[in-house]
Amino acid sequence: ADELRMVMNMGLVRRWTGLLLLATSCSALESRPALLRRGGSILRHRGAPAMGMFVTDPSFNLAAGAATLGTLAGGLEDIKGRDGNKLPTAPLFGGAALLLILFSAFLCFQTATLRFTFDDSTFALVKADGLNSGENVIVGGENRWKYDSFVNYDFLPSEQLPILVYFKETQTPAASREEVPIAVDDAEGQVHFFPAISNTQELKEQFVKHGCAKL
């Protein structure tokens, strides 16, 4: 029993060390000088007016959750049986640990480099420095949508445990719309999903404030 606890502790130490390095990297990314003031209006947005635009706070909760699960999976990988060998489940837990830590690093980077903004007429996804985030990878076009094009929005699986931000809009032309594997409602429009890398309470408050449709 003592040997088993020692093996588990060694595995956890390695994983927590990796988690600490990941957290340090996230903090370094987040602490870079930013042109956007979080939870308020833009300080400086190259060529764009600074008034009337709200920037939601970033949230590293999702990245931290994935890293924690990865660490736990890594600890389970290191469990050994009485014969001193790892259990048959070791490859499964090891693979899960690797995938979760990589996913956490991806989420950490996205959280540090992207922001959701609200101006007088549109909801947008921009870079942390206020620049355009590029074309939407699914349907093309700018990641900016008018409030009056919304037909629904939600947080999945729930507002209390938000992992994905969901919304559907009719701004995307019907000919350019793409099917997605998850359908929350049957309304017409293009579905969008984003990981919950922002303060979802602020997102909800802004959706309500700007009259975005909710089924």
Q: Which of 65, 40, 66 is nearest to 53 (CA)?
A: 40
User: What's the Cα-to-Cα distance from 21 to each of 2, 11, 80, 157, rounded to whole Å?
Assistant: 29, 16, 26, 29
pLDDT at 8 exceeding the cut of 90 = no
Residue 139 tokens, joined = 């349907």
Residue with tokens 């990796």: 18
Q: Are 37 and 9 in contact (CB under 8 A)?
A: no
Q: What distance in Å separates the CA atoms of residue 110 and residue 58, rounded to the nearest whole number?
A: 10
Q: What is the DSSP string of 66-117?
A: HHHHHHHHHHHHT-B-TTSSBPTTHHHHHHHHHHHHHHHHHHHHHHHHEEEE
- Separation of alpha carbons 214 and 49, rounded Å: 29
Q: 10 Å Cβ neighbour count for 100?
A: 20
Give residue 62's pLDDT band: very low, low, confident or very high (50, 70, 90).
very high
The amino acid present at 160, given as its one-letter code, is Q
The yes-or-no verdict on residue 81 having pLDDT over 80 is yes
What amino acid occupies position 158?
S
**Chain centroid, CA 124 distance in Å:** 15
Mean pLDDT of the residues in the chain = 82
Residue type, position 38, single letter: R
Residue 98, pLDDT above cutoff 80: yes
Task: For 149-158, write each residue's pLDDT tens digit.
Answer: 999 999 999 9
Distance CA 123, CA 147 (A): 7
Beta bridge partners of 126: 115, 132
Q: How far is CA 24 from CA 93, 99, 187, in A?
A: 25, 19, 43
Beta carbons of 116 and 155 less than 8 angstroms apart: no
SS3 17: helix
Query: Which pLDDT band holds residue 11 (cuts at 50, 70, 90)?
Result: low
pLDDT score of 142 more than 50: yes
